[in-house]
Amino acid sequence: MTLSDPEKLVHYVQSLSGFEFYETIDGNYDHIGATVADAILQANNKYSIHVKPRVNRILAQYPEARTTSSVLRLLNVIPTTEFLDWRGEDRAERFRQVLDLFAAEEIELEANLRAWLAKEANLPKLRSIKGIGPKTIDYFKILVGVSTSAIDRHLLNFLALAGLAPCSYLDAQTIINAAADILSINRAYFDHSIWQFMSKRAGSKKGECHSHVG
C-alpha cells in the first residue's frame, strides 16, 4: 500500500528514538505588545538569546500594554526602539505598522486578533507590510493559540530528512498539519517538536535561529 506524504512523515517521526513531543509553547501572552514583538523580532534571530528575553522584559516592564491602543499611547511617550529594546529601525517600523493596522481593524485584544486571522480576506492586509510573509502570519496564529504550523528552514529540512520534497509553502504546511492530526497532537506543538529536534540536531551554533524572513 502506498503511503501518503503525511503518513510517510508519521512513520519517520515514529522511527526516531530521540524525537520528543512538546506540549507547551511560547505565546498566548494576553498582551498585544508582547505578541507583536515576538512575531516581528523572531525572523532571522536567535530566539532564546535575542527574542524571548525582550518579550519577557515587555511583559514585566509594560504590563499595561496588553491592548493595541495602550501600546500606541505608550509609543507616543517613548520610542519604539526603547519599547522593544532593539536598535534596528526596520523592525521598529514594522512593529509600529502592525499596530497601526490592528488599530485600523479595531483589533484590541489577542482574542480579536485570533478571530481576525481566521478570516482569509484579512491576511493580505498583514502581508502588505514589508517583511511579513506567510510564515510570520502563521507564527502570529500560533502565538494567539491557533493549531497550525509555521514553515521555516528547520521544518523544511526535517521534511527532506523524511524523504519528502513539498513544492510550496502550503504543500509543506499541509503535510505537517495532516501528520499532526494523524498523531493526535496539536499542530503548533508538532511544529515546535520538529523545531526543537532539528535545533538540537544542528547544534547550538546553528540551531537557534527560529526562521527565515517572512
Domain chopping of the chain, boundaries: 5-25+148-202, 32-143
Nearest of 16, 72, 2, 46 to residue 207 by alpha carbon: 46
Residue-by-residue pLDDT tens, the chain, 214 positions: 789 999 999 999 999 998 999 998 988 999 999 999 999 998 877 888 899 999 999 999 999 999 999 999 999 999 999 999 999 899 999 999 999 999 999 999 999 999 999 999 999 999 999 999 999 999 999 999 999 999 999 999 999 999 999 999 999 999 999 999 999 999 999 999 999 999 888 764 443 444 433 4
Domain 32-143 architecture:
Orthogonal Bundle (1.10)
Supply the pTM of this predicted model: 0.90
